[in-house]
Every structure is written in structure tokens, then in C-alpha cells.
A and B are shown apart, each in its own frame.
Chain A
Amino acid sequence: MSEPVQKLQSVDDDERATRDADPAYLSPDYVGTRLRSPRRPLLLLPQTLSELTGPAFGHDAIGEHDHDLTLQHDGEPLGERIIVSGRVLDSEGRPVRNALIEIWQANAAGRYRHHVDQHPAPLDPNFTGAGRCMTDDDGGYRFVSIKPGAYPWKNHDNAWRPAHIHLSVFGRAFTERLVTQMYFPGDPLFPYDPIFQSVRDPRARERMISTFDLASTRPEWALAYRFDVVLGGSGATPVENA
């Protein structure tokens, strides 16, 4: 006879999304969620070493031009040069150092260098649209790129994605992993985009919008946008990995 065991606590994802920063898995206006969203309650994990640890990446994982998407080919890409910089912070406001950030985006015409993207807009032979960097001791990062274009998708009639850059960030722990999208201020497509609108709290949506950053512009050369990223944190003191 085994002793009775208390089951893990269930968490209702839809209810959680009413008070949480993240969207619910099922956000029906974004059609792709309908068959890919879990329907059973989530189970709340105890904080074990599996949740409190995570991988670290060395600076040797970063190539010389990985942070500058305008220097990855022989010629210069077309479009408006931008500098995107910010800091990665934990929920206590502490810098997350040596965090790997990966970004990807469409080119200035709104086309991805991807075989599935059939948008009839031109590819740019001088633009791939992928970058990587590591945060510095202050949690800071900086990319140079081209402002991406908006592009159509087939979610609903005349659906267009607002211009955005995808960011993937590794925190200190595997459960701090964040993939998000950085948008640009004042985009008229925000009210019509079910992915942006999947975040229910308007203040949380604001946190996905970069701010124009005059101080970081390079005169006669590039505009600049600032985007700080706040990771969830594991709710515990970070564990120093062996």
C-alpha cells in the first residue's frame, strides 16, 4: 500500500491569461492556435534543479558579423538602417549577463529568406535576416539591421502582420526561456493583428513595442530603437551551475 500522494496543482491556462503577461495557448482569432493549443489544465511543477538550471553559451558561439545584419553579404541590403539595443533583465531588475539572443526577421520588403514564404515581394541578395549576440555585463545587447516590412499572411481576409523582429532569449534557467516579437511604435496594424492582440493586457502589449531612441541613433547613418526584455525569473535565487 502506498501512502496517498497529493496531486500536482492544476492551472487553467485561459484564466491565467487574464492576469498574466503571456497569451493563452488558445487564442481563436489566431487560427493556428485552434489545433495546437493544449486543452487539459497545465500542471504546476515544483521548483527542482531541472527548472532552476539552464545552458550557457560561450562567446565563441558568436561570429564577427552576427550582430550586424547589414554586413553579412558583399553588398549592403536595401531599406532603412536601424540600431536595436536594450537590456535583458530578470524580474528583480538585475541584468542577465551572457544571455544568448537570436533574432530573425523579414527584409525591408516584408519577405523572409525562407522557402515557405510565398509573399510576392523581392528577396534581397544582401540580406539574410538572422542575427545573434550575447548580453554584456550590464545585460546590454545591440544589433544593426534593416527595418522589416509588414507582410500579408492567410489567417483571415486581408491579414497583415505589423513589422516585427523575432527575438529568442536564454535566461539563467531553462524555464526562463523567452521567444517574443519586437514591434515598432505607432504601427497602424496593431488593432488588426491577432498575434499582437493575443496578449490581453494592453500594458503588457505595450511592453512588446520598442521605443524610438534618439540617443542611440547614428547621425547621417541610422535610426535607433530601444527594446528591453524582462524574463520571468524562476522565482528563486539563481543557482550557479557547475
Chain B
Amino acid sequence: MSLPRTPAQTVGPFFDFALCARPASELVAPGEAGAIRIEGALLDGAGAPVPDGIVEIWQADASGHYDSAFGWGRCPTDGAGRFAFTTVKPGAVQEPDGSVQAPHLSLLCFSRGLLKPVLTRLYFGDEAEANAADPVLRRIGAEQRETLIAQLSAPGSYRFDVRLQGDGETVFFTTPASGL
């Protein structure tokens, strides 16, 4: 049996009193050993900030294991389109087929004007060796690949902007059945 999916619709502009009533952007406490900060902005095709967006992350733990109780976060964008997470750097992920994924986060971005979320990945600029061998990154052209790399901006801090459209448009993914 295969049931047809329920279509996606935009979150619209009025979600934060429901989706963001509980803080969820600090996966670990700031200052905790191993804590990193990820800061960025969600930008539209004119380079303008998206002030009514929401970013969700999903990541492995520091040892590279996915654990349903750790690794999810959510942050609304502010008036300047900015979002920020405090988390740990995920470890490299060993796949069942023996391949190894470089440390990365999955991101879903929602906003008014996005009828379905965009799915992307954040890799770390200081993991050049792991990135070069990553089974996803190495299958993306060099210029586009750069849009997925967060740059170290200060010790323990990374910068990652998501450009929905136009110059420097971020690479967005889809999966076989999700319709993303």
C-alpha cells in the first residue's frame, strides 16, 4: 500500500507564538566544554534579510552518532534575518556501508514565501580533509560546494549564511520520497 502524501504549505508569517514559545537554539549551555556557536543569516534573492523565517537543525553528537534525544534545534530569524545556535561540533558519521561522512548539520529553513522548507547541509571550514572525502560534498561542483561550508569566524564560532536565491545561492537538496 502506498498512500499519497499530504502537501506542504507555507508556515506563513505568524508562527512564532506557537513554534518559538520554547527556546530551542541552545543544544548545550554556552561555555560548556566543547560548545560551539553557529551564526548566520537567511537572505532572499535581493540579498535582503528574511526576518520572518525559522531554521531547524539536526545533527549527530560529538562522537558521530545520531541520538533521537539530542541534536535537534530551532531558531527563529530576527529583524536582520539572523539565527544562531549553541551546540557541539558533530563527529564524523560512519555509515552502515562503511563510508564516512564529514562532520555536518542538516538544516531546514521555513518562512513566509517558502511553500515547503529548503533542506541544506552545513559543513565546517576547518575540516578540509574530511570534507574532501565526504560522499556528498565531493559529488557537488567546487563553486556550489563552497555554499555549504561554514567559516571559522572566531575560536569556536562559525558563520553560515543561507541564500535562498541568486548570487551565491545555497545548494538545496531533495530526497527521494520527502518531496522536499
Contact = CB atoms under 8 A, between A and B. Distances in A.
Contacts of B175: 44-45, 47, 51, 175, 234-235
Interface of A: 5-8, 11, 13, 16, 20-25, 27, 30, 32-40, 42-51, 53-56, 89-93, 102-104, 106, 112-114, 116-117, 128-131, 166, 168, 174-181, 195-196, 198-199, 203-205, 207-208, 228-235, 241-242
Given A8-B139, A38-B118, A54-B58, A179 B165 contact: no
The interface centre, meaning the residue of B18, B44, B121, B164 with most chain A CB atoms within 10 A of its CB, is B18
A80 B170 CA distance: 45
Chain B residues touching A, range? 35 or more
B9 A179 contact: yes
Tell me if B's interface is mostly helix, strand, loop or mixed. loop
Interface string B3-20: 111111111111111110
Tell me if A's interface is mostly helix, strand, loop or mixed. loop
B14 A203 contact: no
Contacts of B17: 104, 112-114, 128-130
B139 A104 contact: no
Interface stretch (B33-41, B62-70, B152-160): B62-70
B110 A179 contact: yes
Contact of B66 (A30, A93, A166, A242): A242
A59 B95 CA distance: 30
Contacts of A204: 4-5, 7
A231 B169 contact: no
B151 interface: no
12 contacts: A13-B174, A21-B4, A30-B115, A34-B113, A42-B174, A45-B119, A45-B173, A50-B60, A50-B66, A178-B6, A179-B117, A235-B176
The interface centre, meaning the residue of B9, B60, B96, B121 with most chain A CB atoms within 10 A of its CB, is B9
Interface of B: 1-19, 21, 44-46, 48, 50, 52, 56, 58, 60, 65-69, 71-72, 93, 95-96, 101, 104, 106, 108, 110-119, 121, 135-136, 138-141, 144, 164-166, 169-180
Contacts of B48: 35
A22 B3 contact: no
Given A175-B178, A242-B66, A49 B3 contact: no
A44 B178 CA distance: 11
Contacts of A20: 179
Contacts of A208: 6-7, 9
Contacts of A130: 17-18, 21
A56 B166 CA distance: 35
